[in-house]
Amino acid sequence: MIKLHHLERSRSHRVLWLLEELGVPYEIVEYKRNHETLLAPPSLTKVHPLGKSPVITDGDTTVAESGAIIEYLAERHGGANLVPAVGTAEHQRCRYFMHYAEGSLMPPLLIKLISSKIRSAKVPFFAKPITAKVADNLSASLVTGALIKHTAFLESELAQRQWMCGDHMTIADVQMSYPLEALASRSDAGTAMPNILRVLNAMRARPAYQRAIERGGPIMID
C-alpha cells in the first residue's frame, strides 16, 4: 500500500488530493512542524535523507518531490486521463506548469512568507525597526514586482481556458494547487485575479480536494 509521509500545512496536500482523485488505497503517516522553526521533524530523515515532505513509499519504492510524486502516481496508479496526449498543446502546457509551479511561482511566495516571519519575529523593541526594514526591503526587491508579473501572466493564461491546460483537469492543476492557494492568501492583489480565483475555486469544489483537507488538515502555513 502507498504511504504518504504527510507534513501538516505543506505541499503534501496536493499529493493527498491526487490520491483521492485516483481512488487508490493509501495510508497517511503524519508529521508535525516544530512550532518555533516551522521545520519538519528529524524523523522524516528516516524516510528520505533530506527530511522533507511530501514523500511516498510504494512497496520498496520511495519517491520525493511533489512533481515527481504526482507523475509517478499518474503513471503507475491509473491517472492516464489526467495527462494530456503527447504532442498536443495541452501536453506542452502541462509539462510547463508542472515545472513552473515550483521553479518560478513558489520562490517569491516563499520569500514573502519569510519576510512576514521576520517582521513578526520576537526581538527587543529597539531592534524592531531594523527587522521591519529588512522585511520591507526583501519584499520590495524580490516579491512585489515578481508577484505582479506572475499574477498578470496567470490571469492571461487562465482567461483562455477552463483549467491550467485546457477544458479538463490535469496533473498540472494538482501541482499548481499549492502555489495558487499561496498566491491567493499572500498576494496583495486578491481583487485583481478573477481567473486565478475561478480556477482555484473549481479545485476547492472537487470532492477529492475536500476529502484531502478533511484527512490532512489545512493547507497553508499561517
Chain segment 183-203, per-residue pLDDT in tens: 998 766 445 899 999 999 999
pLDDT at 106 exceeding the cut of 70: yes
pTM summary value = 0.92
Which domain range does residue 46 map to? 2-82
Residue 143 contacts residue 112 (beta carbons within 8 Å):
yes
pLDDT at 219 exceeding the cut of 80: yes
Residue 78 contacts residue 24 (beta carbons within 8 Å):
yes
Distance CA 53, CA 191 (A): 32
Q: Write the CATH number for 173.
A: 1.20.1050.10
Average pLDDT, the chain: 90
Residue 17 contacts residue 177 (beta carbons within 8 Å):
yes
Judgement on whether residues 167 and 94 belong to the same structural domain of the protein:
yes
pLDDT at 221 exceeding the cut of 80: no
pLDDT of residue 114: 79
Residue 162 lies in a domain: yes
Judgement on whether residues 77 and 123 belong to the same structural domain of the protein:
no
Please state the rounded mean pLDDT for residues 117-134: 63
Please state the rounded mean pLDDT for residues 127-141: 63
Judgement on whether residues 119 and 189 belong to the same structural domain of the protein:
yes
Q: Which residue has the cell 511533489?
A: 66
DSSP for 76-136 reads HTT-GGGSPPTTSHHHHHHHHHHHHIIIIIHHHHHHHHHHHHHHHS---GGGHHHHHHHHH
pLDDT of residue 191: 57
Judgement on whether residues 67 and 40 belong to the same structural domain of the protein:
yes
Distance CA 180, CA 47 (A): 28
Q: Which amino acid is at 194?
A: P
Distance CA 216, CA 58 (A): 19
pLDDT at 131 exceeding the cut of 80: no
Domain count of the chain? 2
Distance CA 221, CA 35 (A): 11
Residue 144 lies in a domain: yes
List CB contacts of 99: < 8 A, sequence separation 6 or more: 67
